[in-house]
């Protein structure tokens, strides 16, 4: 029995590995073996075994017949088991082959992919430019004299008026300088008085011919020199008083106080790289952004119009804040730099926004939004495109519902959602808007569905999933 199983197992292994397409034929052969196996295979196997036991001598036919009868009587149970084994194996193989055939014959399921038919439209497209917000005036406050800060009169973020005291610098040395200048002025004034009296006396003597004109002229020169010394002393006094006034640092304009890095006890100096603070006039703010050469040429229609004329005709712009919200007041493009930066290849543009409530602060960031109205253009979602070597492509759907990679040309306008197509598509073309760059590939058979149909299918799948739970 074990020998029989081994023979069948070896044959089955060879057949399934080398002749897998003929599994059905093998199953039918094995079913036929059920009928003749008891008499043929079992007989030959038993006789071959007896010949091997007797050496290489041939057994006579009458002896073979006798041996077969003995074998059949002795191994009836084994033969019945072999018969059952053959039937079972034939049944299993037939069922397996039939199942494989059905599975191979089953057609591959075509995926349902969302598509969209394109058409011309007129729409306002927004172009976003990163911007840095600055106050209309940002004044760096620096001391004009060196000294230690004795008092800080304001705090960060405080609104101040023009002339309001911001800082006080140690005044001791500057007051001493003023007093010294006062003393120098008094001394010079006394010298002038003495020289003037001497000049008058010398003049009287000269008029009476008592002294020579030279002696009188010498006295007059001494008076002039004394007066010059007085003027110099008076100028030093004015300078000393001015330096004393510089110890009181005031705001040059209305605005908001910026950060204050230096506090009481810090040494302030005019040569310091870091200012005491910054006063920003935020009643109006500037949003600075950049335009590259191509955008500048497009703005001027390749030089047909002057830049100033085009700037004046630009529509009002909006400002998107860092949190994604839009500033409630619109602004306008004020100026465009006439020089392109060699390092960046762009020109600086400045947009002006009113800021009556102080919502915008100097140093913050945002995006300047410039609207552009387009007529009779084809829009495609950016998610429906992919890029290869600076070329943009979409998958169009042909009449047989196969995908075709189609190159397109788009404008530089970019609102972050759609592209304006200038070439490659025509109204009525169907494009794939789902799975581009991931599950969808070229020459792929799909089942086109609309967005509504796709949403309905997804809702149905969710309901089925919820029902299973």
pLDDT by residue (tens digit) across 341-388?
888 888 889 999 998 888 888 889 999 988 877 778 898 999 999 999
As a whole number of angstroms, the distance between CA 90 and CA 28 comes to 7
User: Which residues is 167 bridged to in the sheet?
Assistant: 152, 249
As a whole number of angstroms, the distance between CA 19 and CA 11 comes to 11
- Same domain for 263 and 291: no
Note whether residue 135 is domain-resident: no
- Same domain for 397 and 354: no
What pLDDT does 415 receive?
67
Give the pair of three-digit tokens for residue 204: 């009287």
> Which of the listed residues 346, 373, 400 is the one where a domain comes to its end?
373
What pLDDT does 16 receive?
42
> Which of the listed residues 267, 296, 322 is the one where a domain comes to its end?
267
- Same domain for 297 and 260: no
What pLDDT does 213 receive?
87
Note whether residue 113 is domain-resident: no
DSSP character at residue 40: I
What pLDDT does 5 receive?
41
What pLDDT does 254 receive?
86
Judged on CB neighbours under 10 Å (0-12, 13-18, 19+), 366 is buried
> Which of the listed residues 350, 373, 396 is the one where a domain comes to its end?
373
- Same domain for 254 and 284: no
Contact between 195 and 219 (Cβ < 8 Å): yes
CATH of the domain at 233: 1.10.287.470
- Same domain for 288 and 218: no
- Same domain for 400 and 350: no
Task: Kindly report the number of other CB atoms within 10 A of residue 132's CB atom.
Answer: 13
Note whether residue 307 is domain-resident: yes
What pLDDT does 108 receive?
63
Residue 39 phi/psi, 5-degree rounding, is: -100, -30
What percent of the chain clears pLDDT 70, i.e. is strictly above it? 74
What pLDDT does 273 receive?
87
What pLDDT does 54 receive?
45
Note whether residue 125 is domain-resident: no
CATH of the domain at 309: 2.40.30.170
- Same domain for 219 and 247: yes
Residue 280 phi/psi, 5-degree rounding, is: -110, 125
What pLDDT does 351 receive?
92
Note whether residue 170 is domain-resident: yes
Cα 374 to Cα 124, 125, 323, 427: the distances in Å are: 6, 7, 28, 16
Note whether residue 117 is domain-resident: no
Note whether residue 272 is domain-resident: no
- Same domain for 263 and 170: yes
What pLDDT does 169 receive?
94
Q: Nearest Cα to 370, choosing from 313, 411, 325, 315?
A: 315
Q: Spell out the residues 6+ positions from residue 192 whose beta carbon is closer than 8 angstroms to its own.
A: 223, 226, 227, 229, 230
CATH of the domain at 400: 2.40.420.20
As a whole number of angstroms, the distance between CA 355 and CA 200 comes to 70
- Same domain for 289 and 254: no
HSE of 314 in the Cβ direction (CA atoms, 13 Å)?
28
Residue 80 phi/psi, 5-degree rounding, is: -60, -40
User: Residue 320 in 3-state DSSP?
Assistant: strand
Alpha-helix residue ranges (DSSP H) falling in 19-75: 23-36, 42-53, 61-74
What pLDDT does 93 receive?
40
| pLDDT beneath 50: ranges in the chain | 1-43, 45-46, 49-50, 52-59, 67, 71, 75, 77-79, 81-97, 99-103, 105-106
What pLDDT does 74 receive?
52
- Same domain for 63 and 100: yes
What pLDDT does 70 receive?
53
Count: domains in the chain: 4
Judged on CB neighbours under 10 Å (0-12, 13-18, 19+), 169 is buried
Note whether residue 232 is domain-resident: yes
- Same domain for 63 and 17: yes
The C-alpha angle 338, 340, 346, rounded to 5 degrees, equals 120
Domain extent, residue 218, equals: 143-267
- Same domain for 360 and 289: yes
pLDDT tens readout for residues 209-250: 888 888 889 989 999 999 999 999 999 999 999 999 999 999
């Amino acid at each position: 029995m074990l020998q029989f199983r081994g023979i069948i197992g070896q044959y089955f292994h060879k057949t399934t590995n080398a002749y897998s397409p003929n599994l059905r034929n093998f199953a039918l052969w094995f079913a036929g073996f059920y009928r003749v196996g008891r008499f043929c295979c079992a007989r030959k196997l038993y006789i071959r075994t007896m010949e091997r036991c007797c050496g290489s001598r041939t057994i006579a036919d009458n002896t073979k017949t006798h041996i077969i009868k003995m074998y059949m009587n002795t191994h009836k149970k084994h033969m019945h088991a072999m018969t059952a084994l053959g039937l079972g194996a034939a049944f299993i193989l037939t069922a397996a082959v039939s199942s494989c055939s059905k599975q191979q014959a089953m057609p591959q399921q075509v995926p349902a992919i969302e598509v969209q038919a394109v058409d011309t439209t007129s729409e306002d497209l927004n172009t976003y430019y990163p911007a840095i917000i600055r106050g209309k005036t940002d004044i760096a406050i620096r001391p004009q004299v060196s000294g230690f800060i004795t008092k800080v009169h304001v705090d960060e973020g405080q609104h101040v008026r023009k002339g309001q005291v911001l800082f006080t610098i140690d005044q001791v040395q500057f007051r001493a300088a003023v007093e010294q200048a006062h003393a120098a002025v008094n001394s010079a004034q006394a010298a002038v008085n003495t020289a003037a009296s001497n000049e008058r006396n010398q003049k009287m003597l000269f008029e009476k011919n008592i002294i020579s004109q030279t002696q009188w002229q010498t006295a007059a020169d001494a008076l002039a020199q004394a007066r010059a010394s007085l003027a110099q002393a008076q100028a030093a006094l004015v300078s000393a008083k001015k330096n004393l006034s510089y110890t009181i640092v005031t705001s040059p304009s209305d605005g908001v106080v910026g950060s204050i890095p230096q506090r009481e006890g810090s040494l302030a100096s005019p040569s310091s790289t870091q200012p005491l603070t910054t006063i920003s006039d935020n009643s109006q703010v500037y949003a600075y952004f950049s335009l590259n050469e191509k955008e500048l040429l497009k703005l001027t229609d390749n030089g047909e119009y002057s830049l100033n004329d085009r700037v004046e005709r630009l529509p009002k712009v909006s400002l998107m804040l860092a949190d994604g919200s839009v500033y409630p007041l619109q602004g306008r493009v004020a100026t465009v730099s006439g020089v392109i930066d060699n390092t960046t290849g762009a020109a600086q543009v400045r947009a002006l926004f009113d800021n009556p409530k102080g919502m915008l602060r100097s140093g913050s960031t945002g995006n300047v939004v410039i609207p552009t109205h387009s007529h009779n253009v084809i829009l495609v979602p950016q998610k429906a495109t992919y890029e290869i070597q600076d070329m943009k492509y979409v998958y169009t759907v042909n009449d047989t519902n196969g995908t075709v990679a189609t190159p397109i040309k788009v404008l530089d306008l970019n609102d972050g959602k759609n592209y304006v197509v200038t070439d490659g598509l025509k109204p009525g073309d169907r494009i794939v808007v789902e799975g581009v760059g991931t599950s969808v590939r070229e020459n792929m058979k799909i089942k086109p569905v609309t967005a509504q149909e796709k949403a309905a299918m997804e809702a149905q799948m969710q309901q089925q999933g919820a029902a299973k739970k």
